[in-house]
Structure formats: structure tokens, C-alpha cells
Chain A
Amino acid sequence: MTDRCEETLGVGLLCEGQHDPGVPPAGLRRSPSGVDGLTTEHLIINMGPQHPSTHGVLRLIIEVDGEEIVAVEVSVGYLHRGIEKLAEHRRYDAVGTLMDRGDYVSGMMGELAFALAAEQLMDVEVPRKAHWLRSLASELNRLASHLVWYGTFGLDTGAMGQFLYAMREREALLDILEALSGQRMMFNYIRPGGVVADMPLGLTEQIRTFLSTFDTYLDEYHQLLGGNEIFQMRVKGIGTIDRQMALAFGLTGANLRAAGVDFDVRRARPYAAYPELDFEVPLGTTGDAWDRYIVRMGEMRQSARMIAQLIDGMPEGAFTAKVPRIIRPNAGEAYASVESSRGETGIHLFADGTEHPYRMHYRGPSLFAAQALEEILPGHLIADAVMIVGSTDIMLGELDR
């Protein structure tokens, strides 16, 4: 046992020293500050990689002066598993499995980004129904993803009840997605050329049943968490990312829109069925954690609106184009992006005419949000760090890839 353990861990010599508390992390201030003639020292604490509030395996090395955060270093890579490299050894219809496991609570959007990029290099006309099914799957998945965020964000503040409600609604959504694709989380539903299967019989009614109560529930959820004065006091005014900083860091999604920037890939570079849908883009004003909360709650409402439009106007026809069994796109380069639950998820694809991608770059929005944490966390209290990390809704699977 011990030998095997050393053998396995020995391979990872590169990361040795990171766990040694004697080695100060680079770039952190170490100057002791004096109060009333007494000399105090800054304390360096580790938050993560095992921490219930980091939403995965994020590690924050936080330097504190008393309770106040002085400096932060974000240490990533605890979930690096080579999605970009492995994609070079997958066939085009199988890369979707990796994209699912990248951003694992909103897998449909990752698949869609890859499918859109691959289709730019293929001579294929995607049927209208496939576009609509793709949008439907994306919006259902966005609701499921935002509900996970809603539940865990409440847990970060110390509230427990809303987590159970969010999970209840999420199970109903996962039932729908399972009926659509056959899996609860790792769908592999959207592939280059279209989607895998048509909607099964009775799914429209199932979605209608879900939607008939969801709006009321959403009001209740907002009242439950956002109407709570303790929650408001803890969330308002912390973690402000203003317009300039958000743009400078390249934030997208709700983190950017909370700062008041009207940018949504669904509207700026329309794809799938979004040009035909009627929806609004909720915007915040100041860009603090409360605004991010409000924007995401608004997005859930818009998603429910879009799902209703999508099932009402679902066109007839084929759900996939005629695609060869082994896809060989033309050589070239393509970039396609979608609005995932966290922001702009983009795929930059290089094809060389074979059945494997030559190179795939995965642009996930979480890495940019994690970078911004180093800037926004200093000046806050330790207790607020949990809330700010929760409000940015980062997903470590796509951050580390």
C-alpha cells in the first residue's frame, strides 16, 4: 500500500512544496502591522481545496490582518484533467462527453459550443427543429444550474431551507432532461449536425406541468432568500466588481451583467433558436454580490419564459442533419461561443481534415471570475470571502479543465 502510494504521489513531484507551510506563497505581503505599539503578524490561512463553500476544489491562500483580508492568491489546478488535450484524441461526435464533464452542471451549453464550432467547418445545414431542441435543452439546463447556485449560495450564508427547495425543483428538471437525453447530468445530447433524439412523447406536458408552478415557486424562493433581512445585510455591498474592472478582467455572464454591461452572447452573437425568441437580459447596477443574485434570479425567470415559447413553437421536421458516421470537417479554424450559465463558453477549434480535432481551446468563464477574486477579496472580512466566492458562481471543472 505504502509503496504504491509513494509511487503514485512521487509522479506529482512538481506540486511538492505547495503544501509546505514554511514556504510563503509568492506575491503576498508579509510586513507585520503594528497596533498600539504592539507588533502583530499577518496570518496566512488556506481556504480549500477541501472547503464546503469553495464549490469544488478551489484553493484560496488568504493573508489576513485580524479578520480583514489583506491579500489573496488563487491556486487552481486541483481538477486539471486535460480536457483540451484529450479532445485531440476523441472523434468529433465524442468530444461532447468531455465538454459535459467540463462544466458539469450545465453540460448542454458546453456540448452546444463544440457542436457550433465543428459545424462551421462542416458542410452541413442544421435543421430548424434541432436549433429549437438545442435552445430548449440549454434553457432547461440553465435553470438546473442556477438552482444549484441558488441552493449553495444560501448554504454559504448559513441558510439551509432553500437548498432543499432548490433541489426539489432541480430533480423535476433532471427528470425532464433525462427523458430528453437519457442521462441526468452527462447528456452527450447535442452533437455536430443536430441532436441525438427527438422529444419523447409526453415531454411537452411534463414541461408544462413543471412551468405551471415554477414561476410561483421562484417568487417564493426569492422571498425566502432575498427577502431575508440577514441575507440582505450580509450580501449587499460586498464583492463589488464595477463596470471597468469587470471588462478589464474579461468577465462574462451574470458577473458582467450585474455591473450593468448589457452583453449576452444569446443576443450579441445569436445562435440556435435565440434570434426567434422573445426574452430580456436582466441587468444590475453596482455589481455587488446582491446584484449578481438579482441578475441570476431574473435569468431564471427569463429561462422559464423561453422554455414556454420553445415548447409552444416547436417546429416539425428532422432533429438532425445527415451527418457521416465518422465526421471529418474541412481543415481550418473556427470559434463559436454560447452563453452558458456562467458566461461566455467558447470553443476555438483547429481541424486538419482528420477525424480528430487538431487542437481545441476551451474558453470557460470561471477562470476569469476566479482571477477577479484576487482583486475584489482584499478589504473584506473572512466571513465575506465565502459569500463573494459563492456569488461569482465559479465551476472548478471548467476552470481547471
Chain B
Amino acid sequence: MAIDKFTGENSIAFIRSEQLFDFARRNSLWYIAFGIACCAIEGLMSASGPRFDFDRMGVFFRNSPRQADVMIVAGTVNHKMALTVKRLYDQMPEPKWVVAMGACACTGGPFREYPNVVLGVDTIIPVDVYIPGCPPRPESVQYAFIELQKKIARRTEERLAARNR
């Protein structure tokens, strides 16, 4: 994007407002601190720890869904939990994204034979990025956020292209 190349000293960049907003959005992806199961230890706690340090990517946790942009569904969602997940997702302000972390959130994982377990969180909320693994390493979560940033940028480009046509 243009702004990446024009951030020197005394530089002026002419930029569309959509591009500016999306630049801000994809570099401050705040996720809701919502750990369900094992993946929360890797994806939320180790991730904000000193080794992986997601803060440097602008990825930081918020405790309220109303302040969050991203929901990391980290763990097995069962039918008792599904209503809460849906409600939390509905409380998040637009635009919002969902990362399904781990085998359980993607498909039900090792517990998918149990009738109480939701077979993938994409049956209740739309998912943008899937991370395989049980649990995925924090590096995978990092990669998922990079992919999500790309996706946000791509969406802006597509929207601008559609309008210019």
C-alpha cells in the first residue's frame, strides 16, 4: 500500500480514507481475551508472553468484546458454549474477523465423535482464518495474523477497484 513507501521525514501522502482506515485496522488487530480450552494457553498466553510477543504486530488482547476486532476461537466449542460464542461474536463491532484456532475449532478435532461437541465453529459464526494443529504452535497463530492482515488489505483493494470501475 502507498503509505508504506511514503513515511519518510516531511513526507505527505495522499491516500484514500478507506485505505487509511484499513491500514490502521490491520495493524491494530485487538483480539478478545476469550480462551476456551488448551489452545488458549498457546494462542493467547504464550502469544502475549515475551518470546512470541504479539504486541509488536499490534495484536493485543481486550477483555470486552465491544472493544475487539478479532475473535480467536481457541478450543473446543460444545453446545452449551455455542450460544455464548455466538453472543460474543454478535457483540463485537463491525468490521470483525474470526480466527478458528486448532483442530477443535476447525472441525471438532479429537472430540468430534462426541455428540455434545460442535463440529467446527464455522457452523455458528463465519471464520476468516483456520489454523490446523492440536494445539497449533504460537508461530502458527502469528502466521494466521499475517494472513489476516493480507486478507484485510486485499478486501480494501477489491472494494476500491470495484468502485473505480
**Contact between chains at B42 and A184 (CB < 8 Å):** yes
Interface segment, A1-9, A26-34, A122-130, A272-280?
A1-9
Q: Is B63 an interface residue (CB 8 A)?
A: yes
Q: How far is the CA of A185 from the CA of B75 in the complex (A)?
A: 14
**Contact between chains at A184 and B83 (CB < 8 Å):** no
Of A4, A50, A184, A186, most buried by chain B (CB within 10 Å of CB) is A50
**Contact between chains at B111 and A86 (CB < 8 Å):** yes
Q: How far is the CA of A12 from the CA of B119 in the complex (A)?
A: 13
Cross-interface CB contact of A5 among B40, B117, B124, cutoff 8 Å: B124
Q: Is B76 an interface residue (CB 8 A)?
A: yes
**Contact between chains at B123 and A4 (CB < 8 Å):** yes
Total contacting residues, chain B, CB less than 8 A:
46
Q: Is B34 an interface residue (CB 8 A)?
A: yes
Closest to A15 in B: B80
**Contact between chains at B35 and A12 (CB < 8 Å):** no
Q: Is B152 an interface residue (CB 8 A)?
A: no
Q: How far is the CA of A303 from the CA of B156 in the complex (A)?
A: 53
Closest to B121 in A: A8
Contacts of B87 in A (CB 8 A): 19
**Contact between chains at A56 and B113 (CB < 8 Å):** no
Interface digits, B106-140 against A, CB 8 Å rule (1 contact, 0 not)? 00001101111110000111100000001101000
CB distance from B94 to the nearest CB of A (A): 16
Contacts of A105 in B (CB 8 A): 41
**Contact between chains at A57 and B126 (CB < 8 Å):** no
Cross-interface CB contact of A57 among B36, B134, B137, cutoff 8 Å: B36
Interface digits, B73-91 against A, CB 8 Å rule (1 contact, 0 not)? 0011011111110111000
Of A14, A89, A186, most buried by chain B (CB within 10 Å of CB) is A186
Q: Is A52 an interface residue (CB 8 A)?
A: yes
Q: How far is the CA of A152 from the CA of B86 in the complex (A)?
A: 26
B contact patch SS: mixed
Interface segment, A62-70, A77-85, A249-257?
A77-85
Closest to B126 in A: A1
Contacts of A148 in B (CB 8 A): 41, 45
Interface digits, A131-167 against B, CB 8 Å rule (1 contact, 0 not)? 0000000000000000010011000000000011001
**Contact between chains at B75 and A167 (CB < 8 Å):** no
Q: Is A98 an interface residue (CB 8 A)?
A: yes
Q: Is B146 an interface residue (CB 8 A)?
A: no
Contacts of A1 in B (CB 8 A): 126
Q: How far is the CA of A57 from the CA of B37 in the complex (A)?
A: 8
Interface digits, B21-63 against A, CB 8 Å rule (1 contact, 0 not)? 0000000000011111110111001101111000000000101
Interface digits, B12-24 against A, CB 8 Å rule (1 contact, 0 not)? 0000000000000
Cross-interface CB contact of B123 among A5, A19, A89, A397, cutoff 8 Å: A5
**Contact between chains at B110 and A98 (CB < 8 Å):** yes
Q: How far is the CA of A150 from the CA of B108 in the complex (A)?
A: 31
Total contacting residues, chain A, CB less than 8 A:
45
Q: Is A269 an interface residue (CB 8 A)?
A: no
Closest to A105 in B: B41
Cross-interface CB contact of A81 among B40, B76, B83, B84, cutoff 8 Å: B76
Contacts of A151 in B (CB 8 A): 45
CB distance from B42 to the nearest CB of A (A): 6
Contacts of B114 in A (CB 8 A): 81-82, 85-86
Of A1, A80, A85, most buried by chain B (CB within 10 Å of CB) is A80
* Given A56-B35, A148-B45: A50 and B84 interface contact (C-beta under 8 Å): yes
Closest to B47 in A: A167
Q: How far is the CA of A148 from the CA of B116 in the complex (A)?
A: 29
**Contact between chains at B135 and A170 (CB < 8 Å):** no
**Contact between chains at A15 and B79 (CB < 8 Å):** yes
Of A19, A81, A151, A186, most buried by chain B (CB within 10 Å of CB) is A81
Q: Is A97 an interface residue (CB 8 A)?
A: yes
Contacts of A49 in B (CB 8 A): 81, 84
* Given A1-B126, A5-B123, A82-B111: A185 and B38 interface contact (C-beta under 8 Å): yes
Q: How far is the CA of A15 from the CA of B77 in the complex (A)?
A: 14
**Contact between chains at A80 and B80 (CB < 8 Å):** yes
Cross-interface CB contact of A185 among B35, B61, B82, B135, cutoff 8 Å: B135
CB distance from A37 to the nearest CB of B (A): 37
Contacts of B80 in A (CB 8 A): 12, 15, 18, 77-78, 80
Would you give 18 A-B contacts (Cβ < 8 Å), ordered by A?
A: A1-B126, A5-B86, A5-B123, A8-B82, A9-B124, A19-B83, A56-B35, A57-B36, A80-B80, A81-B114, A81-B117, A86-B113, A101-B111, A164-B50, A167-B49, A184-B135, A185-B38, A186-B38
Chain A residues engaging chain B, CB cutoff 8 angstroms: 1, 4-5, 7-9, 11-12, 14-15, 18-19, 49-50, 52, 56-57, 77-82, 85-86, 89, 97-98, 101, 104-105, 148, 151-152, 163-164, 167-168, 170-171, 184-186, 396-397
